[in-house]
Structure 1
């Protein structure tokens, strides 16, 4: 086999590997992002809180993904300043079955009304529910300033 043909063969092999790797990476990335549940919008009084995805199991056709997340600490979240006693409104992408709302106190979930306490401090919350495609939990935090 001539040197020119051998170089041409290697170029074809490397080209096929690059194309195959790119297609694999693209399909892997696409399937991962398309299976996550949509984030809700959380309004605390007149402020919109930053919501982070927490534990979920979500399906898309024949694929499903489950992720387990521990409860966050205050420094894991972007806290928004809010007024004492502000009402919390959660808008999901669709109405969930078995919706719940909790405060996170000392690393534990405690059932709560969706209202910010009156006392100054940092407050973490967890909410979520079940939908036909799966279940999902979300977390966010607020700070009541003095």
Structure 2
């Protein structure tokens, strides 16, 4: 009777262990912030291993650029810093996709990039590597012109890119 109970408990613990390990089968999503706003990051292709299996997953879309077009771009000001945090990685890199076939290196210092000066939609790809594998992630931004500040007397007038005026 005691032997059956011990067998049941050990089997249950092993089953939970296998299920928990099996669920943790993909890389953690990076955190991307522009100012106080978080930018949505889409999971791309990855390979990930744990104690019970190895999984390699590809994207049904044909290019990183296409993946980026499916995400809603977050508005950022030209020249704004975009902070990228990839948890526990050994290394990561960032590319800026101009089109399906044109890629360039953005201005960055290893943890943040600078939004381009020209207004438009920009797609970025993060490639990261961990002990458990590697993964790709994509996000999109829409660059808008920074609001100029005109000082006239004691009234400060802000004009945004849509021509709407605010007074402080």
> Equivalent residue for 2:27?
37
- 2:62 counterpart of 1:63: no
> Equivalent residue for 2:90?
97
- Normalising by structure 1, we get a TM-score of 0.71
The 3-state SS of whatever aligns with 1:85 is: coil
Question: Does 1 or 2 have the higher relative contact order (CA < 8 Å, sep 6+)?
Answer: 1
The 3-state SS of whatever aligns with 1:42 is: strand
- Normalising by structure 2, we get a TM-score of 0.62
> Equivalent residue for 2:134?
135
Change (3 A) 1:134 1:53: same
> Equivalent residue for 1:125?
124
> Equivalent residue for 1:46?
36
Q: Which runs of 5+ in 2 are unaligned?
A: 1-18, 108-112, 145-160, 162-168
Count of matched residue pairs: 116
Paired with 1:109 and 1:55, the residues of 2 have a C-alpha distance of 18
Q: Which runs of 5+ in 1 are unaligned?
A: 1-26
More helix by share: 1
Aligned 8 A contact 2:125 2:137 in 1? yes
Q: Write out per-residue CA displacement over residues 101-132 of structure 1, whole angstroms, 9 at most, x where no aligned residue.
A: 11011114322222110111101101122110
Paired with 2:69 and 2:93, the residues of 1 have a C-alpha distance of 24
> Equivalent residue for 2:72?
78
- Matches for 1:100-115 after TM superposition, within 5 Å: 100-107=93-100, 108-113=102-107, 114-115=113-114
Paired with 2:24 and 2:103, the residues of 1 have a C-alpha distance of 29
Q: Write out per-residue CA displacement over residues 41-100 of structure 1, whole angstroms, 9 at most, x where no aligned residue.
A: 101233210000111111111311111233133540111111111112111121x23311
The 3-state SS of whatever aligns with 1:35 is: coil
Paired with 2:29 and 2:132, the residues of 1 have a C-alpha distance of 14
